[in-house]
Amino acid sequence: MAGTLAGVAAVALVLALTTGALPGVGGSSDAEPAAPAPPDAAGDTVRCATGLEDCTQGEAPVSAPPEGGSCDFGETPGTWTQVDRGGEDTVYSCLADEVPPPPSMGEPTTVPDVTNVGLDFADQILRREGLGYETVGDDLFGLIDSEALTVCQTDPEAGTAAEAGDELTLFIDSSC
């Protein structure tokens, strides 16, 4: 009888451990989900919903980059900088503290997402990828105040395969 009772107790303990019936032991837990990974400094821009939550880099969820925090892409140190000019999302990019050497002509790259990014910041992001651009839109007699203008759209669009040396068309305006 003692052996049967011990066997029942052992089965009950195994069930309790595997189903989470004992708080804090085995089974499922009510722990917080894992925090998203930090953004890749060499990757695309980081877009965050209001309040710096629900951040994504491309399609991947990431944590919000610390504005003004340091970042590196390759051998070049940089700083996380807010690059948007207002709008629904807050947009960050790792901008080089010094101009990095451009990639070799013809080197594969991807068109970065610079929509709703200030033209002055878009210039830095595109140069980092080795991409040139022409602007179409809100300029006065060919005079462009890059700090007052925003990239509303690109052609080709973000995510398109490109090569260093390719030229994009940036559709700009004072607001998108």
User: Quick check: is 75 in a domain?
Assistant: yes
Check which CATH number belongs to the domain holding 161 and give it. Answer: 3.30.10.20
User: Quick check: is 123 in a domain?
Assistant: yes
User: Quick check: is 151 in a domain?
Assistant: yes
Q: Is the pLDDT of residue 56 over 50?
A: yes
Burial string for 109-133 (b: 16+ CB within 10 Å, else e) reads bebbbbbbbbbebbbbbbbbbbbeb
Average pLDDT over residues 134-161: 82
Residue with the larger pLDDT of the pair 36 and 11: 36
Average pLDDT over residues 2-26: 45
Q: How many domains does the chain have?
A: 1
Percent helix / strand / coil, the chain, rounded to 5: 15, 35, 50
User: Quick check: is 67 in a domain?
Assistant: yes
Instruction: At 161, list the tokens.
Output: 């395969």
Q: Taking the complete model, does pTM exceed 0.75, yes or no?
A: no
Domain carrying residue 101: 46-173
Q: Is the pLDDT of residue 4 over 60?
A: no
Which residues lie closer than 8 Å to 110 by C-beta, 6 or more apart? 44, 129, 159, 160, 161, 162
User: Quick check: is 96 in a domain?
Assistant: yes
pLDDT, tens digit, 9 for 90 and up, residues 100-143: 777 889 899 999 999 999 999 999 999 988 999 999 987 654 55
User: Quick check: is 119 in a domain?
Assistant: yes
User: Quick check: is 62 in a domain?
Assistant: yes
User: Quick check: is 24 in a domain?
Assistant: no
What's the mean pLDDT when you consider all of the chain?
79
